[in-house]
Amino acid sequence: MKTITTDVQAPEEITKKDVTKAYLRWYFANEIPHSFERYLAPSLLYAMMPILKKIYKDDDSLRAAYKRQLLFFNTQLSWGGGVITGLMSSMEQQRAQEEHEETEILMQDDLMYNTKAGLMGALAGIGDAIDSGTVQYIFIAIAVPWAQQGSPLGALFPFLCFSIYQMVLGAFFARQAFSMGQNASGLMQSAGVQTAIEMLSVLGLFMMGVLAGNYVKVTSSLKFDISGREFVVQDILNQIMPGILPLVVVMGVYLYYTKKGLNVTKALLWLTAILIVLAGIGIL
C-alpha cells in the first residue's frame, strides 16, 4: 500500500459541474488525438485532467492517474463516453480518498481498467444501434424534403440536431454515472434497457427502409415488342413488387459491406460504374 505524507492536501470534492465539463472536453476532443496505439485514450485523459488535478495533490499520484487513463480506450461518443467519463470520475475520486487516508487501496488499477474495458465495447454497441442506427436517420428523414427543395436547412438540420442530441445525452449519462458510481454499469445492462435497445434497433431498420424506398430512385428503361404489343419492364416490375430495383441496389450495397467491409468510397465507385454500364446498354 502506498504511503502518503501528511502534508499533502486532501482531495477536493468533485461536483456534477466538473463531470459535465469533463464530458464536454471529451465530446469536442473525441477524434482529434486518435492513434492506432491508444485509439481514443488521449481524448479521455484530456477530459479527465481537470478532475484528476483537483483530487490528486501529490505529483506521483497524479502521474499514475494520467497513465491509468491513457491506456487503450475506444467507445461510442455519447453512451460509452458519457457513462465511462462519469464512472471513471467516481472511481478516481474514491481512489484519491483511499490514498489520502492511507487506508487499503480497494480501487486498484486493474479494477478501474477492467471496468472501463468491459463497458466500452458493450456501450459502443448500444450507442451505435440507437444513435447511428436510429436517431440520426430520423433527423435525416425529417430534413430530406427540405434538401430536395434546395433549402440549406436540409443539410444543417440533421447535423445540428444530432450534435446537440449527443452532447446533451452524453452529459446526462456522465452525471448519472458519477452519482451512481459502479451501479451505473448494472443499470445499462438491465433487462428494461436491453428491451428498449431492441425496440429502437427495429425502429432504426424501419427508418432506413423508409429512406431507401422513398429516396433511392432506380428505374428500368428497358422495353420490347412481342407480336406487336409493347412490354415495359418497369411496369411489369411495379406489378410484381413496387420499388424492387431500389431494394436490389440497397441490398447489393449491404452485401458488399458484409463481404468487403465498410469501405464507403469503394462501394460508391463500384455502384457508379455498374449503374453507368447498365444505363449505357439501355437496361436502366
Report the 3 state secondary structure along 221-252: CCEEEECCEEEEHHHHHHHHCCCHHHHHHHHH
Q: Domain end: 215, 244, 259, which one?
A: 215
Collapsed DSSP state (helix, strand, coil) of residue 11: coil
Tens digit of each residue's pLDDT (9 = 90 or more) over 38-65: 889 999 999 999 999 999 988 898 999 9
CA distance 71 to 220: 54
- Buried b / exposed e over 244-254, threshold 16 CB at 10 Å, is ebbbebbeebe
CB 45 within 8 A of CB 69: yes
One domain, residues 68 and 203 = yes
One domain, residues 103 and 207 = yes
CA distance 67 to 62: 9
One domain, residues 124 and 265 = no
pLDDT the model gives residue 49: 94
CB 70 within 8 A of CB 42: yes
CB 184 within 8 A of CB 83: yes
CA distance 79 to 125: 9
Nearest of 39, 114, 60 to residue 84 by alpha carbon: 114
Q: Domain end: 188, 215, 242, which one?
A: 215
One domain, residues 96 and 203 = yes
What are residue 39's DSSP bridge partners?
Answer: 35, 73
pTM for the whole structure:
0.64
Q: Domain end: 190, 215, 240, which one?
A: 215
One domain, residues 173 and 262 = no
pLDDT the model gives residue 47: 94
Q: Which structural domain, as residue segments, surrounds residue 241?
A: 223-280
Residues 6+ away with beta carbon under 8 Å from 112: 68, 88, 91, 92, 95
One domain, residues 203 and 260 = no
Nearest of 129, 119, 34, 50 to residue 82 by alpha carbon: 119
One domain, residues 139 and 205 = yes
Local confidence pLDDT in tens for the 284 residues of the chain: 444 444 668 888 889 899 999 999 999 998 888 877 788 999 999 999 999 999 998 889 899 999 999 888 888 899 989 999 998 998 898 888 888 888 887 788 888 888 888 788 778 878 887 888 788 888 888 888 888 888 888 889 999 999 999 999 999 999 988 988 755 445 545 565 556 556 655 665 666 666 666 667 777 777 777 766 777 777 777 777 777 777 787 788 778 877 777 676 777 788 788 878 877 777 77
pLDDT the model gives residue 266: 77
One domain, residues 83 and 205 = yes
Chain mean position to CA 281: 42
pLDDT the model gives residue 195: 67
One domain, residues 203 and 249 = no
One domain, residues 197 and 229 = no
Torsion angle of C-alpha atoms 180, 183, 184, 189, degrees rounded to 10: -160
Domain count, the chain: 2
One domain, residues 9 and 125 = yes
One domain, residues 57 and 183 = yes
CA distance 222 to 169: 50
Nearest of 93, 94, 86, 92 to residue 172 by alpha carbon: 86
